[in-house]
Amino acid sequence: MVFFERQRSYSYGKAIRAGLLPDLGFSLIEPIVAAALTAIVLAQIASLFDVSRRAIVFSNQIDQADRDIHLALDVTREAVANYNWCVNGGAVNSTCNGVTPLNRVAFYNPPQANFQAFQNACRVDSQHQADRDPVTRSLNTYINNTLSGRPIVNNVTIRVIEMDSKEIHRFRTMFSRTIETPYGNRTLNRGFYLIPPVALWCP
Partner 1 sequence: MLLILLLVLTVLTTTMSLTSRTTAGMAMNSVQGKLRLARDAAENGLVISIGELNKPANRMLVGSVPLNHWATNDFRVRTDGNDVTVAPNAVIYPRDCMIFTNESPWNRIYQTTEEALLFATNNPPRRIMRNSGNDQYFRVLGIKLTDAARNPINRETGLAANNAFSFLTMTVEGIYSAAVAPTTAAPNPINSVHYTIQQEYQLAPRCCSTNRYPVDEGNAQPACAAAGLAGNFKSEWMARSISQAGIFKTNQ
The residue range among 11-19, 21-29, 176-184, 185-193 that interacts with partner 1, by the rule CB under 8 A, is 185-193
Q: What is the DSSP letter of 97?
A: T
Please report whether residue 33 would count as binding partner 1 according to CB under 8 A. no
CA 166 to chain centre: 29
Residue of 44, 116, 129, 178 that binds partner 1 (CB under 8 A): 44
Q: Is 127 left (phi over 0), alpha (psi -120 to 50) or beta?
A: left
Q: How far is the CB of 29 from partner 1 (least distance, A)?
A: 16
Query: Binding partner 1 by CB under 8 A: which of 95, 129, 165, 178?
Result: 165
- Give the CA angle between residues 139, 67, 71 to the nearest 5°: 25
Q: How far is the CB of 176 from partner 1 (least distance, A)?
A: 12
The SS3 of residue 118 is helix
Total residue count of the chain as it appears in this document: 203
Spatial CA neighbour of 174 closest among 144, 196, 136, 145 = 144
User: Which residues, 89 to 148, sit near partner 1 by CB under 8 A?
Assistant: 101-109, 115, 119, 122-123, 125
- Residue 26 as a binder of partner 1 (CB under 8 A): the answer is no
Tell me the window of 22-30, 49-57, 132-140, 150-158 that interacts with partner 1 (CB under 8 A): 49-57
d(CA 29, CA 162): 73
Residue 85: name the closest of 112, 105, 124 by CA: 112
CA distances from 76 to 38, 84, 130, 150, 161 (A): 56, 14, 15, 12, 15
Q: Output 137 or 173, the one with its CB closest to partner 1.
A: 173
Question: What is the contact surface with partner 1 in residues (CB under 8 A)?
Answer: 3, 7, 41, 44-45, 48-49, 51-52, 55-56, 58-59, 62-63, 66, 70, 73-74, 76-78, 80-81, 101-109, 115, 119, 122-123, 125, 165, 167-168, 170, 189-197, 200-203
